[in-house]
Amino acid sequence: MPEYAKFTEDMIKTHTILVPDMLPVHFKLLIAIFESKGYKMELLQNDSRAVVDEGLKNVHNDACYPALLVIGQFMDALKSGKYDPDKTALLITQTGGGCRASNYIHLLRKAVARNFPQVPVVSLNFSGLEKDSAFQISVSMFIRMLYAVLYGDLLMICYNKCRAYELNKGEAEKVLNKWQNKLGDFFRTGNKEYMKTKRLYTAILEDFAAIKLSDEKKIRVGIVGEIYVKYSPLANNHLEDFLISEGCEPVVPSLLEFVMYCAAGNFNDARIYNNITKSSIFNKIGYDLIYSKQKELIKIMNAQGSFEPPHDFEHLRSLADKYINQGVVMGEGWLIPAEMAALAKSGVENIICTQPFGCLPNHIVAKGMSRAIKQDNPNANIVAIDYDPGATRVNQENRIKLMLANAKIG
Amino acid present at 392: T
| Torsion angle defined by CA atoms of residues 134, 84, 229 and 128, in that order, rounded to the nearest 10 degrees | -10
From the list 108, 80, 194, 106, the residue with the least C-alpha distance to 144 is: 194
Q: How many Å apart are CA 323 and CA 34, to the nearest integer?
A: 40
Which pLDDT belongs to residue 267? 86
The answer for residues whose C-beta is within 8 angstroms of residue 55's C-beta and 6 or more apart is: 67, 68, 69, 71, 72, 73, 75, 389
Write down the pLDDT at residue 98.
Answer: 64
Q: Is the pLDDT of residue 254 over 70?
A: yes
The reply to whether the predicted model has a pTM over 0.85 is yes
Least confident of 31-35, 337-341, 388-392: 388-392
* 206 has pLDDT over 90: yes
Provide the β-strand partners of residue 148.
Answer: none
Q: What is the pLDDT of residue 330?
A: 84
Which is more confidently placed, 327 or 339? 339
Q: What is the DSSP string of 259-294?
A: HHHHHHHHHHHHHHTT---HHHHHHHHHHHHHHHHH
Is residue 91 a contact partner of residue 124, using CB atoms and an 8 Å limit? yes
Span 22-71, pLDDT tens digits: 998 999 999 999 999 999 999 999 999 999 999 999 988 778 899 899 99
* Res 127 pLDDT > 90: no
Q: How confident is the model at residue 1 (pLDDT cuts 50, 70, 90)?
A: very low
Mean pLDDT computed over every residue of the chain = 91
pLDDT in tens, 341-384: 999 999 999 999 999 987 877 888 888 899 999 999 999 999 99
Q: What percent of the chain has pLDDT above 90? A: 73
Q: Considering only 129-138, 169-178, 273-282, which range has the smallest mean pLDDT?
A: 129-138
Torsions phi, psi for 232 (to 5 deg)? -80, 120
Spell out the domains of the chain, with CATH numbers in brackets.
Answer: 11-133 (3.40.50), 217-253+311-405 (3.40.50)
Strands across the sheet containing 16-19: 40-43, 16-19, 88-93, 121-124
* CB burial readout 145-176, b (16+ within 10 A) else e: bbbbbbbbbbbbbbbbbbbbbbeeeebbeebb
